Structure 1
Amino acid sequence: MSGRLTCVGIGPGDPELITLKAARLIGAADVVAYHAGTRTTSHARRIAADLIPAGVVEEELRYPVTTGTTDHPGGYAGAMAEFYETSAARLAAHLEAGRDVVLLAEGDPMFYGSAMYMHDRLAERFPTEVVPGVPAFAAATAAVASPLVRQTDVLTVLPGTLPEPELARRLADTDGAIIMKLGRTFPAVRRAIEAAGRLDGALYVERASAPGERWLPVADVDPDTVPYFSLIVVPGDTGPRAAVVEPADAPTAAELLVVGLGPGPDGWLTPEVAQALAEVDHVVGYAPYVKRVPQRPGLTRHASGNTVEVDRARDALRLARAGERVAVVSGGDAGVFGMAAAVFEVADEFPDVDVRVLPGLSAVQAVAARAGAPIGGDFAVVSLSDRLKPWEVIEQRLRSIATADLVLAIYNPASRSRTEQVVEAQKILLEELPADRPVIVGRDVGRAEESITVTTLADLDAAAVDMKCLLIIGSSGTRTSPSGRVWTSRATRR
């Protein structure tokens, strides 16, 4: 009969924070295992030292590398994977011999801990159990006596090893946050916190609940003194709030900008829009578009879902009326199936706010440029989304455009919940147009995964079209050159 593996959380450092269950299991173990740094004694063993029985078999699992620099042919990831395999084999030998193994884990075993990698490798072969422990961030918030999140606040736990811009974005978009894995990452983490506008109120905690515990504002920390066993608490009370307190006398020069970010690459952002985004205090928009605006000090980002355009517009107008500098963002051009129309829908409710639209490169222009010059003549643009108009209207417009012999650009051809519209559109167009009419499928244009497919109306694989695509269907004047480029004659002879 095999032994049992138990991954036991022993808390962040104070032995008195070890649970009664963890203490009982450690005292009854045949083998006690623990991880250790490359040059230090095991912190886990130190925490649980008084509970480890005399004469018990101990397995020290010493990391081969902790800084990311190694001569291993597989690099850091390869060195660690080999270490975990070797460590798992050592513990498996005890388990196969019928010995119960308790693996000590600082904090909680399944929260940024090495114990989870042993569990991954052994759980299918042996009986296992996980005993939770007090995580380090719980001890840290207790140390600073600061509420972390309240009521409907969102808490985000972030590793300090994230790229600095991504860390800043996530900090700006959450209420409360915990940032772990500091040490040498601290300077970049501090810059990200400042860029997110969260430096005031951010607290640094070192060795929470353990000997040498200390805490102080992040702004006062000497980066050269930061150990790995430290973290940052960003209380939810310091987070961005979307509530607007409007003054009794609204500013006379209230203005709301509505801007197009282009289809994707930074190089397609116009200088005018880039300057506007560098000067506003608030960015409002659909979450994926807000994500594209770099976080910086003083900027508050308001992200929302894809079907609340009018509510989003009102929120932005209220902010502008309160004297804030605000930009509403759209992908592509804000005036082409973007937020500009939604803003003007409700702009009359805010007569003291001037709305200014800054153009952006549209998706149809980007796809057309990649393909050649398919919109060199007259063309029409239609969205297949029937969320705001009935399908009967879309069908009528498709037939009219085909009859008028216009190049047709189709936005929103499909989504996760709308897969039949593009199939129906293909059938309708084939009733009006020849089967060999050129069709361009542009997917993720401007991004790393970009693709341009030139096909015909009959050969179009409608099932492969999704929300990342834009279609261009040619007119009678559209030609495909031997090199695969597509262009439409400027002259109409029909």
Structure 2
Amino acid sequence: TARLATTDAAAVMKLGRTFPTVRRALERSGRLADARYVERATMSAERTGSLGEVDPSSVPYFSVAVLPSRIDTPGTPDAPDASASGRPGEVVVVGLGPAGPLWLTPEARGELAAAEDLVGYTTYLDRVPVRPGQRRHPSDNKVEAERAEFALDLARRGRRVAVVSSGDPGVFAMATAVLEAASEEPYRDVPVRVLPGMTAAHAAAARAGAPLGHDYAVVSLSDRLKPWEVIAERLRAAAAADLVLALYNPGSRSRVWQVGKARELLLEHRAPDTPVVLGRDIGGPEESVRIIRLADLDPADVDMRTILLIGSSQTRTARRGDGTEIVWTPRRYPEG
């Protein structure tokens, strides 16, 4: 299914009894409408047509499923608008994972290949391979609402749109913006799907060991969309409950004090030697993973490409035989 979704053109030969399986794969990959059926080509009993309209019981061994190339077909930048075909548009919000192609799911890869329009923050769009016939619509990272409405407008005109988002699109990302806009007129009837992606927290945790092995909370330190007082209260509550914390958006060029303040709040409830994982550019070319003490957390070491995992009272570290330091939180919590 993933290969059919991502390929430009394909042929599946000698269908026979495998026809229902091939048809299901084409349908799941979003390519059934493009697929053509050819039976006994060049013979007197030749039959051709749309594969989706073929009766499975009538398919002989000598038949072929064909996916024509998308190059120089409707959907190219110079092609007429898709609304002329009368087919419905759709918005699919796709999670790219933290960085690189290895953590992109087959489902997400297929939707990116099938999309006619790609919409997203410029940095994230640059991570998606350029494909002939696709339109790319980059924008700034502070115009999420406008980006969502733009994507929905394209879908209203019959376009198949992929909105790209780093990590998982439902975690401090574009899925919320799209669904919020899609809940209002004139977008209520536009189909919207959200595809999950690997989160930065899970990727960083895997690199360090298993610090999220027990209950944990996820908090964004950015006060751009909520007041710092709300963030501080949530940090206190999570720390008092002895939850491991995954802290997103810890700092930027314009936000330099939040990490220091968060450290002070957490030290009211956590020991100074509580393990902290600093994961930066996980999966990217500048990947860095460090394990430090909470008391040694320096705001100067943190930026927007960093995620912090703050251990609980039960989180442990150890040095393996090869010298590698690992961190984990036991699944069992002491009674009393």
TM-score, normalization: structure 1? 0.50
Cα distance in 2 for partners of 1:459, 1:311 equals: 40
Q: Counterpart in 2 of 1:180?
A: none
Cα distance in 2 for partners of 1:256, 1:297 equals: 20
Asked if 1:427 is matched to 2:264, the reply is yes
Q: How does 1:207-286 map to 2 (within 5 A)?
A: 251=86, 253-286=88-121
Residues 426-460 of structure 1: per-residue CA shift (max 9 Å, x gap): 11111221111110000111112111110011011
Structure 1, unmatched stretches of 5+, are 1-196, 199-238
Aligned with residue 381 of structure 1, among 200, 218, 223: 218
Would the aligned equivalents of 1:426 and 1:462 in 2 still touch at CA under 8 Å? no
Asked if 1:448 is matched to 2:285, the reply is yes
Asked if 1:467 is matched to 2:308, the reply is no
Q: Counterpart in 2 of 1:334?
A: 169
Q: Counterpart in 2 of 1:489?
A: 330
Deviation at 1:302?
0.5
Deviation at 1:265?
1.7
Would the aligned equivalents of 1:250 and 1:322 in 2 still touch at CA under 8 Å? no
Would the aligned equivalents of 2:88 and 2:159 in 1 still touch at CA under 8 Å? no
Q: Counterpart in 1 of 2:140?
A: 305
Deviation at 1:252?
6.4
Identity %: 57
* SS of aligned partner of 1:328: strand
Cα distance in 1 for partners of 2:112, 2:276 equals: 36
Q: How does 1:383-422 map to 2 (within 5 A)?
A: 383-422=220-259
Q: Counterpart in 2 of 1:60?
A: none
Asked if 1:344 is matched to 2:179, the reply is yes
Residues 464-490 of structure 1: per-residue CA shift (max 9 Å, x gap): 211111000001121101231000010
Deviation at 1:299?
0.7
Cα distance in 2 for partners of 1:404, 1:251 equals: 55
Cα distance in 2 for partners of 1:424, 1:266 equals: 35
Amino acid at match of 1:329: V
TM-score, normalization: structure 2? 0.72
Cα distance in 1 for partners of 2:85, 2:237 equals: 48
Structure 2, unmatched stretches of 5+, are 1-70
Q: Which has the higher contact order (CA 8 A, sep 6+)?
A: 2
CA spacing shift, 1:250–1:428, aligned 2, 3 Å: farther
Q: RMSD value over aligned CA atoms?
A: 2.1
Amino acid at match of 1:285: G
Amino acid at match of 1:326: V
Would the aligned equivalents of 1:246 and 1:321 in 2 still touch at CA under 8 Å? no
Asked if 1:358 is matched to 2:199, the reply is no
* SS of aligned partner of 2:164: strand
Would the aligned equivalents of 2:240 and 2:269 in 1 still touch at CA under 8 Å? yes
Cα distance in 1 for partners of 2:190, 2:165 equals: 20
Cα distance in 2 for partners of 1:251, 1:390 equals: 46
Q: Counterpart in 2 of 1:145?
A: none
Cα distance in 2 for partners of 1:330, 1:487 equals: 29
CA spacing shift, 1:419–1:250, aligned 2, 3 Å: farther
